[in-house]
Amino acid sequence: MSTLLEADNITKTYRDHRALDQVSVHIPDQSIFGLLGPNGAGKTTLIRIINQIIGADQGTILFDNEPLRPEHVSRIGYLPEERGLYKKMQVGEQSIYLARLKGLKRQEARKLLTGWFEKFDLMPWWGKKVEELSKGMQQKVQFIITVLHKPRLLIFDEPFSGFDPINVNLLKDEILRLREGGSTIIFSTHNMGSVEELCDHIALINKSKLVLEGDVREVRKSHSTRLYEAELERVHTPVEQVLDGRFQLVNTEQRLQSLTVRIRITKEATPNELLQSLFTCGQLTSFRELTPTMNDIFIKQVTGEYPTGNRKKTEPFIQAGQQ
């Protein structure tokens, strides 16, 4: 897969702190690229550098295999996290204005806008002032303005904040459609659920440094804790008896007919061997790997350990066992 944007060794220092330290990201063409990191990690700085709003102190950026140039702004669409519109200006007029700043002709902008406005049911609001629109509608207008000039690269910074669930889905569909249409999307967010749902690639920035980059499935696989969950029915032999030292029983949970067990496999064993052992206990009804969620990985990378949330699941069991 070719690379649309290649940022290498980007360093940016503000007077009192280093916002980015030797950060490199390669964004594959037609991918949805999740840019993750806690607040203040340097995401916005990186995005602003890609948008040429500010300059990097060091490092190079290639856009479509060319060094990034001012003319490239017309091929990039940016939806900032902190975003707004002129409150007193009419919605349609304002959209045309912002589209023209991206280099579209007036007539062309009007035509494209009409299409998008109809799609998002905004047409009745064309002549209204922005302050008369609800926050959700303003967000829709901002989204339209971002994608209107059909940019090769779209950068969304927390795009779903301020949207209700229905509109979030509408937007997700549009983002996927834009990708199908040939756009590449950088997606900066804290919302790990949407990362797993949408992103192909991720980069995680923490304390100005890149700590993780890669394909989402690869990342999750590389963060495997080798923890598996199995459900058994009609258990005739206790699970503890069939497991040897290569397996570690994390917990068990009895629910009516079925028994749920979570088992960690050490490096010497394979899932197949675990399955074979489990077959001897009873009827196996389900078996899956408990890969860490992106949320878990995020928190692990930032704080150094997996969230305590995982352990919560075991609490009812322990309490039951004590009784």
Partner 1 sequence: MSKIATIIRREFLSRVRKKSFVAMTILGPVLMAAIVIVPVLLAQLSDSDYSVAIVDDSGIFAKDFRDRDNIYFTPLDTDIDNAIERMHDGRFDAVLHIPEVAFQAPSSLRLFSEKSVNFNAKLLIENILKLEFESMKLSSAGIDEEVLRSIESPVNIQAIRISDDGEQMTDYPEISMGLGFVGGFLIYIFIFLFGSQVLRGVLEEKTSRIVEIIVSSVKPFQLMMGKIIGVGLVGLTQFLIWVFLTLAIVSGFQAAAPEMFRFTPDEEVFVTGGQVLNQEELQIRREAIQQHDTLAGELLEGISAINIPVMMLSFIFYFLGGYLLYAALFAAIGSAVDNEADTQQFMLPVTIPLLLALIMTQMVITNPGGTVALWLSMIPFTSPVIMMARIPFGVSYPELALSAALLIAGFMFTTWVAAKIYRTGILMYGKKVDYKELWKWMRHS
Query: In the complex, which residues of this chain contact partner 1 (CB under 8 A)?
Result: 15, 48, 51, 53-54, 70, 73-74, 76, 78-80, 82-89, 97-98, 100-103, 142, 145
CB of 201 vs partner 1, minimal distance in Å: 22
Which CB sits closer to partner 1, 42 or 292? 42
CB of 247 vs partner 1, minimal distance in Å: 53
Contact 290, 228 (CB under 8 A): yes
The residues near 178 (Cβ < 8 Å, ≥ 6 apart) are 147, 154, 185
Instruction: Judge residue 18's burial from the number of C-beta atoms within 10 Å of its C-beta, 0-12 exposed, 13-18 middle, 19 or more buried.
Output: middle
Which CB sits closer to partner 1, 74 or 251? 74
216: which 2 tokens? 């989402």
CB of 16 vs partner 1, minimal distance in Å: 10
Distance between CA 39 and CA 44 in Å, rounded?
Answer: 9
The DSSP result for 108-176, as a single string, is: HHHHHHHHHHHHTT-GGGTTSBGGGS-HHHHHHHHHHHHHTT--SEEEEESTTTT--HHHHHHHHHHHH
Which CB sits closer to partner 1, 25 or 79? 79
CB of 127 vs partner 1, minimal distance in Å: 14
Instruction: Judge residue 305's burial from the number of C-beta atoms within 10 Å of its C-beta, 0-12 exposed, 13-18 middle, 19 or more buried.
Output: exposed
Contact 237, 280 (CB under 8 A): yes
Which CB sits closer to partner 1, 63 or 78? 78
CB of 101 vs partner 1, minimal distance in Å: 4
Which CB sits closer to partner 1, 128 or 246? 128
CB of 146 vs partner 1, minimal distance in Å: 8
Under DSSP, is residue 268 helix (H, G, I), strand (E, B) or coil?
coil
Which CB sits closer to partner 1, 101 or 318? 101
Distance between CA 297 and CA 212 in Å, rounded?
Answer: 10
Taking CA atoms, 78 is separated from 4, 176, 202, in Å, by 16, 16, 18
Distance between CA 90 and CA 130 in Å, rounded?
Answer: 6
Which CB sits closer to partner 1, 157 or 296? 157
CB of 105 vs partner 1, minimal distance in Å: 10
